[in-house]
Structure 1
Amino acid sequence: MYRFLPLALLLAACSGAEPRYLIEAPAEVRPAPLAVASLEVRDVSLPAYAEASEILVESADGGLEPAENALWADDPMRAVTLALADRIGRASNATVAAEPWPLEEDAQAAVEVRVTDMVARASGVFELTGQYAVSSYERVVRERIERFAIAVPLVDTTPGSIADATGRAVAQLAAEITEELSR
Structure 2
Amino acid sequence: MSFKFHRILPFALILAACGAEPRYLIDPPVQSGTSRLQVSTLEVMDVSLPAYAEASEILLEGEDGALTQVDNALWADDSRRAVTLAIAEQIGRASSAAVAPEPWPLEEDAQAQVHVSVSRMVARANGTLSLDGQFAVSSYDRVVRERIQRFAITVPMASADPAGIAQATGAAIAELSSQITASLSR
Query: Please, what TM-score do these two structures have when normalized by structure 2?
Result: 0.90
1:28 is matched with 31
The 4+ residue runs of structure 1 with deviation greater than 6 A are none
One-letter amino acid matched to 2:91: I
- CA distance in structure 2 between the aligned counterparts of 1:29 and 1:119, rounded to whole angstroms: 26
| Aligned counterparts, 1:61-76, within 5 A | 61-76=64-79
CA distance in 1, matches of 2:97, 2:66: 41
In the TM superposition, residue 27 of structure 1 has moved relative to its aligned partner by 1.1
Give the Cα–Cα distance (whole angstroms) in 2 for the partners of residues 16 and 94 of structure 1: 39
The secondary structure found in structure 2 opposite 1:25 is coil
CA separation in 2, counterparts of 1:61 and 1:16?
A: 31
TM superposition shift of 1:16: 6.6
SS of 1:97's equivalent?
Answer: strand
Please give the secondary structure, in 2, of the residue aligned with 1:113. strand
Q: Give 5+ residue unaligned stretches, structure 2.
A: 1-8
The residue that corresponds to 1:17 in the other structure is 20
- Name 1:47's counterpart in structure 2: 50
Per-residue deviation, 1:15: 9.5
* Number of the residue aligned with 2:160: 157
How many corresponding residue pairs? 175
Aligned to 1:173: 176
- The answer for the alignment partner of 1:137 in structure 2 is 140
Determine the structure 1 residue equivalent to 2:111. 108
- Structure 1 unaligned spans of 5+: 1-5
Alignment partner, residue 3 of structure 2: none
Residues 9-66 of structure 1: CA deviation (Å, up to 9, x unaligned): 88x9369700000001111121110000000000000000000000000011100000
Residue 88 of structure 1 corresponds to 91
Aligned residues with identical type, % of pairs? 63
Pairing 1:2-13 to 2, within 5 Å after superposition: 13=16
- The one-letter code matched in structure 1 to 2:33 is R
Q: 1:98 aligns with which of 90, 101, 112?
A: 101
Specify the alignment match of 2:4 in structure 1.
none
Q: Offset at 1:156?
A: 1.7
CA RMSD in angstroms comes to 1.6
